[in-house]
Structure 1
């Protein structure tokens, strides 16, 4: 299975503007640039998109793992915080921190933590990241 996305860019680094498009059409020529990446201005950025991918992948992986354990979540909400840090002459994504709040009938805290950590390790996006991945998981 392969999925595609593309990016276009016009202009220089600081004054240029880019756009991102996904195969699904979820993003179609969606703007990004230096201001949205480094100055907290409107638009998206690669770290935000990676965070969305990581949160979505992890939550879906956990749903599968819960099903294999005979459990079904009433609700799972996952937030990802991706850290971009200056390293030497460039930047690196150094961490992705997942925060999960879930309502899962029939599971105790210990089993929940075990299953959530299994999902963190098994999520394909977790596997591709060369970064520290941390998880806070709580039943609500």
Structure 2
């Protein structure tokens, strides 16, 4: 097995009604709650969205930098919690929108698609039928 560059140990003992945290001093600790109630806290939908948008945008930025470009980029995701058609169970429907400032859509899309193949979080969900990735014009 290859040597790793980074490792995090993350704990959740409360499901969506309590706290989840990253092991270690001064690490992230969040209150978690179900997305279908009004209790304070975050939820798996939001955490997944943060992980995906952060990783994908960082990968886009890396590809831009490798090409000697300084264009800004941004990634937005909408994560919907949906019930399975059978009525038993749930799934995420995810819409991801990526944009690169000052770049024609076809060129931007080539970079976004390349980033999608390289981003570690996106790799976890490749070929998922419930995720749509679209390159869109950059807006402030």
Q: TM-score with structure 1 length normalisation?
A: 0.75
Maintained 8 Å contact 2:73/2:98: yes
- Shift of residue 67, structure 1, vs aligned partner: 1.9
Distance 2:133 2:105 in 1: 17
Match of 2:31 in 1: 31
| Structure 2: gaps of 5 or more residues | 1-5
Counterparts of residues 37-116 of structure 1 (less than 5 Å): 37-39=35-37, 41-73=39-71, 75-87=72-84, 88=86, 89-93=88-92, 95-104=93-102, 107-116=103-112
More strand by share: 1
Match of 1:4 in 2: 9
Give the RMSD, CA atoms, in angstroms.
2.4
3-state SS of paired residue (1:139): coil
- Shift of residue 55, structure 1, vs aligned partner: 0.2
| Structure 1: gaps of 5 or more residues | none
Change (3 A) 1:116 1:78: same
How many equivalent pairs are there?
128
Q: Deviations over 1:108-136 (max 9, x none)?
A: 33211211121123211111124423223
Distance 1:126 1:113 in 2: 16
- Shift of residue 39, structure 1, vs aligned partner: 2.8
3-state SS of paired residue (2:81): strand
Distance 2:51 2:82 in 1: 19
Distance 1:80 1:45 in 2: 15
Distance 2:49 2:17 in 1: 21
- Shift of residue 22, structure 1, vs aligned partner: 2.3
Distance 1:60 1:23 in 2: 24
3-state SS of paired residue (2:46): helix
